Amino acid sequence: MSRSVLVTGGNRGIGLAVARAFAQAGDRVALTYRSGGPPEEATRLGCLAVRCDVTDAGQVERAREEAERAHGPVEVLVANAGITRDQLLLRMPEEDFAAVLDTNLTGVFRVVKQVTGGMLQARRGRIVLVSSVVGLLGAAGQANYAASKAGLVGFARSLARELGSRGITCNLVAPGFVETDMTRALGEKQRAGLLSRVPLARSAQPEEIAATVRFLASDDAAYITGAVLPVDGGLGMGH
Ligand code: NDP
């Protein structure tokens, strides 16, 4: 059955792979983009591309309205948009801490808040948040990012409790090292250091995260809520 799906940060990387996976499975997908234009692939996939900066509540509301006008109430939300502003704590300006929290945590709050009304009315829904192995392990130079991604765990688990009796699940994926622009920005030494700690001894492709997100949004995952599902090649084992 085709569902109305909304994916934030869907113009590249993991978000685009997620949008592609749902679209190829026959769902009606709205993806958001922020800077630049809509991704070329959106038209080919039959996805609706809507502009949305998740730090702006007005844009989030308009994006949800546009998505719902085209596809009906959102039944699956994938909150994926995220940024890094890495720096050791002593050198980290408060603006960089606040900016990462505003996008990665408060941004997710804004988007989730927009779609839950429709899900409550329908008495069903799937919310999947993109956290990170770093939210559980921590990482030097990423105190802001780790705090935002760990914050998502408490957020999702609270929603799992608030919304569960209405047939709405809320889960997280916690990816490890995925080949996207975000990790392409790392130096060779950092990449090698990270890879040496991955039991599967390789990085992930965005499609591998997308497959897990689709699983959490599927009927097969109907009895899973409040879960953190690692997709990290074993990097974060034990958490
Ligand atoms: P990319 O940097 O490739 O893409 C990030 C996406 O988020 C882009 O679409 C970007 O839009 C969007 N975005 C950033 N800020 C905002 C904003 N304020 N409003 C709306 N959209 C925004 O990253 P990835 O694909 O690698 O990451 C996707 C998610 O996965 C993130 O939440 C990230 O933290 C998480 N993750 C990634 C891992 C990895 O190894 N790559 C590992 C673990 C988690 P724009 O193009 O306009 O910048």
Atom number in ligand 1 closest to CA 176:
42
Lowest mean pLDDT among 37-41, 89-93, 110-114, 220-224: 37-41
Write the ipTM: 0.99
Q: How far apart are CA 81 and CA 101, in angstroms?
A: 12
CA torsion angle 101 102 106 107 (round to 10): -120
> Are the C-beta atoms of 236 and 137 separated by less than 8 Å?
yes
Query: Is 145 part of the annotated catalytic residue set?
Result: yes
Atom number in ligand 1 closest to CA 175:
43
Write the pLDDT tens digit of every residue in 210-233: 999 999 999 999 999 999 999 999
| Structure tokens that stand for 169 in this block | 């699940």
What is the overall mean pLDDT for the chain?
97
The pLDDT value recorded for residue 130 is 98
pLDDT level of residue 1 (50, 70, 90 thresholds): confident
pLDDT level of residue 186 (50, 70, 90 thresholds): confident
Write the pLDDT tens digit of every residue in 46-91: 999 999 999 999 999 999 999 999 999 999 999 999 999 999 999 9
Tell whether the model's pLDDT for residue 239 goes beyond 80: no
Gap from CA of 234 to ligand 1 centroid (Å): 22
Percent above pLDDT 70 for the chain: 100
Gap from CA of 175 to ligand 1 centroid (Å): 12
Pocket of ligand 1 (CB under 6 A): 8-9, 11-15, 33-35, 52-55, 80-83, 103, 107, 130, 132, 175, 177-178, 180-183
Write the pLDDT tens digit of every residue in 130-164: 999 999 999 999 999 999 999 999 999 999 999 99
Residue 160, C-beta contacts closer than 8 angstroms, at least 6 positions apart: 169, 170, 171, 225, 226
**Mutation test residue for ligand 1: of 12, 16, 181, 186, the one with most atoms within 8 Å of CB:** 12
Q: Which of 22, 33, 145, 155 is catalytic?
A: 145
> Are the C-beta atoms of 125 and 171 separated by less than 8 Å?
no
Residue 22, C-beta contacts closer than 8 angstroms, at least 6 positions apart: 3, 5, 7, 29, 76, 214, 217
CA–CA–CA angle 15, 119, 37 (5° rounding):
30
Which CATH fold would you assign to the domain 4-230?
Answer: Rossmann fold (3.40.50)
Higher pLDDT, 128 or 36: 128
Altogether, the residues listed in the chain come to a count of 239
Cα 32 to chain centroid, rounded: 12
CA–CA–CA angle 57, 23, 154 (5° rounding):
45
Tell whether the model's pLDDT for residue 101 goes beyond 80: yes
* Mean pLDDT value across residues 181-194: 88
HEC profile for 114-154? Answer: HHHHHHHHHCCEEEEEECCHHHHHCCCCCHHHHHHHHHHHH
User: If we measure between CA atoms, which residue out of 84, 78, 34, 29 comes closest to residue 56?
Assistant: 34
Write the pLDDT tens digit of every residue in 117-129: 999 999 999 999 9
Residue nearest to atom 36 of ligand 1 (CA): 132
Strand ranges across the sheet with 28-33? 48-51, 28-33, 4-7, 76-79, 125-130, 168-175, 228-231
Residue nearest to atom 32 of ligand 1 (CA): 82
The pLDDT value recorded for residue 185 is 85
* Mean pLDDT value across residues 176-204: 93
Q: So where are the chain's domains?
A: 4-230
| Structure tokens that stand for 120 in this block | 């409550």
Tell whether the model's pLDDT for residue 38 goes beyond 80: yes
The pLDDT value recorded for residue 187 is 86
pLDDT level of residue 103 (50, 70, 90 thresholds): very high
Do β-strands 125-130 and 168-175 pair in parallel, antiparallel, or remain unpaired? parallel
Does the global pTM surpass 0.95? yes
